A and B are shown apart, each in its own frame.
Chain A
Amino acid sequence: MTVMNIVQAVNRTLRDEMRRNGNMIVLGEDVGRDGGVFRATEGLLDEFGAERVVDTPLSEDGIVGMAIGMSLYGLLPVAEIQFMDFIYPAFNQIVSELAKFRYRSGGQYPAHVVIRTPYGGGVKGGHYHSQSTEAYFIHTPGLTVVTPSSPHDTKGLLLSAMRSPDPVMFLEPKRLYRTIKEDVPDEEYLIPIGKANVVQEGSDITLVSWGPMVQTCKEALPLAAKEKMSVELIDLRSLMPFDIQTVIQSVKKTGRVVVAHEATKVAGFGAEISAQVSERAIDSLKAPIIRVAGYDTPFPYALENSYLPKPERILKALRKASSY
């Protein structure tokens, strides 16, 4: 066991897998000499050399395009996009190319690239360093979308992402990069993609969340307990594919659902969870499904703290669901 934060977990996991897999390459802007702007790739250049830890010119479409070409030839490229807000020049490469290679070629050319990118607000970054746009990628068949909420999960999910035969968007909760420290086993372990984690069991309300918002939900739990609400908190961990079974099981028990995410509300992934629950468990529902989300505005700078859902907003939603 080693105590570490999320950045350290990313760093160790990349290092361990590079030691194990000689065909693995890390590429991106400032990932080499600088060790990444968040230091997630620190030390890798020294250990593995410039051929495997590739500082690229400043071009997101170039990074992802190049990674795809490497992957088709049998390498395992793990690309870093410095901020998720900068990913859009590569959007065509991700949705039209990476996601579709296997399908459009009839299985002849599976492309396996892991794209790591920090996302989410809470770091005073304005809209170009804060957004949560997981829904764009979940909406694209062919992509796997994963997001950890703790150092322990980071290691297990990143390993699974790198060993997956499919392209994976690995979304890192940048606000939590250095705020949570916990014991992480030194030995290898995989957290299966597509399986949710029941963080806390409860009998009154199901609270579904993922990524950085899981931490906020955890902070809301003692507040809810004080008001005698027994909340079952589910961390989806994997958004595509997502573990609807665990959610439905919980809903059948509680009959009440709150979904919390940082992304804007309209057509956010919370809407999908809500639709799935009503399609599969309408008879169990005792209250409307309530979404707690970012407001449907661009991400603000000065008013960030009012924009981001806080434990109090989650508590309010829990109350509403429980008193309906």
Chain B
Amino acid sequence: MEMLQVVRADGEYDAKLEPNLRDEDLKKMYRYMLLVRRFNERMLLLQRQGRIGFFIESTGEEAAQVGSAFALARSDWVYESYRDPGVCLVRGVPLKTLVDQLMANADDPNKGRQMGVHWGYREWNLVSISSPVGCRLSQAVGTAYAAKFKKDNIVCVTSFGDGATSQGEFHSAMNFAGVFKVPVVFLCKNNQYAISLPVRRQTASANIAMKAEAYGFEGVLVDGNDVLASYKAMKAAVDKARSGGGPTLIEAVTYRMGGHSSSDDPSKYRSTEETELWKTRDPITRFRRYLMKKGLLTESEDRRTLEEVENELVSTIKESEKVPPPTLYSMFTDVYAEMPWHIKEEADELMGEKGQ
């Protein structure tokens, strides 16, 4: 299977394959990628300082996030993964809203109910995340079915890692998607690891994209460290889905440069040589080289963008840290539409003890 690539690691590119994007969009993509990189670094630091509880970084996967999200319409639905802060940002979620989630404060639309990186924003059609991987795929198929049923011209995208493809639910969802031919795009970001286990131990298949064939639809292999290739593959898949062509499985080949989460030590299971090799394929360095070759970015502009991003992060963290935690009573709401008597009793008892 051939892997789609537009820009090589050295920034050289195939002009015939370049997607039709405006210069402004290319610059925006770059800025988002920088923001995601610095967001990851900053948040991991906050976790180490005990200012947030838990974090999962997506360093090295910025291109696959930003490129794919750029190809979506505002009305499309996304079952994003916890390694998708870039997808949230591109879709319009304010940076502060993401930081609020990590702080689990009263401004978090999820009301601080979940540990960090479990995004979910109804306003931007980003569906609330759970920790068990794989279970969101059939949900995405259901949403795509519903959209098709209602004759809404939208596509439903679900993003997951290579580990999720080992779950039985991956099979169920791919199978249902093929049978019902719904407008869904499965985006597998193969970052080479599911916590400690390398992808060759998740599957004996030569790649993940080829699995689509068995379900009766197209699989596409793409260089996930190439933001333009990531965009192009997703754009083709959503265009096809929108015009009634059914599902696509995209495998974006990338690399998890950091640990699985803030609780992980990757030096236990992989070599420095390997990490160093992937550093030479860094998606941001590559895109920077491309933009400079195209005359769309200068050294000083690059420095200025990075500064802007840094400032935005610093001021956002400061703002978010001022927000109080959710109210005690909020622990008991939203279990059901209306609070049943037994939960009300428990809430009253606790609130009474606290004199609230």
Contacts and interface: CB of A to CB of B under 8 A. Distances in A.
A152 B90 CA distance: 53
Contacts of A104: 110, 113-114, 118, 120, 128, 130
Given A100-B130, A109-B128, A65 B172 contact: yes
Interface stretch (B66-74, B141-149, B276-284): B141-149
Nearest to B145: A70
A64 B172 CA distance: 11
B132 A92 contact: yes
B127 interface: yes
A59 interface: yes
A204 to B, nearest CB: 28
Contacts of B132: 92, 96
Interface in A292-313: none
Contacts of B342: 241, 244
Contact of A73 (B147, B172, B335): B147
Contacts of A54: 180
A59 B142 CA distance: 14
A73 B130 contact: no
Contacts of B139: 65-66, 68-69, 72, 97
A59 B146 contact: no
A92 B132 CA distance: 9
Interface string B157-175: 0000000000011001101
A102 B175 contact: no
Contacts of A97: 130, 135, 139
Contact of B113 (A59, A103, A110): A103
B89 interface: no
A interface residue count range (under 10 / 10 to 19 / 20 to 34 / 35 or more): 35 or more
A56 B144 CA distance: 15
A89 B122 CA distance: 28
B77 A101 contact: no
Contacts, number: 149
A73 B147 CA distance: 7
B336 A144 contact: yes
A71 B140 CA distance: 11
Contacts of A75: 146, 149-150
B192 interface: no
Interface residues of B, number: 47
A179 interface: no
B81 interface: no
Contacts of B130: 96-97, 100, 104
Interface string A73-110: 11101000000000001001100110011111111111
B142 A73 contact: yes
A165 interface: yes
A102 B337 contact: yes
Given A65-B142, A69-B140, A72-B127, A107 B333 contact: yes
A141 interface: yes
Contacts of B147: 73
A17 interface: no
B334 interface: yes
Interface in A162-194: 164-166, 194
B176 A105 contact: no
B109 interface: yes
A105 B120 contact: yes
A25 interface: yes
A96 to B, nearest CB: 6
Contacts of A89: 168
Given A70-B143, A73-B142, A103-B335, A244 B113 contact: no
Interface of A: 25, 51, 54, 56-57, 59, 61-62, 64-75, 77, 89, 92-93, 96-97, 100-110, 141-142, 144, 164-166, 194, 240-241, 244
Across chains A and B, which 3 residue pairs bring their CB atoms closest together, nearest first? Answer: A69-B142, A65-B138, A106-B111
7 contacts: A65-B139, A71-B142, A72-B143, A75-B146, A100-B130, A103-B113, A104-B128
Interface of B: 77, 108-111, 113-114, 118, 120-122, 127-128, 130, 132, 135, 137-147, 149-150, 156, 168-169, 172-173, 175-176, 179-180, 333-337, 340-343
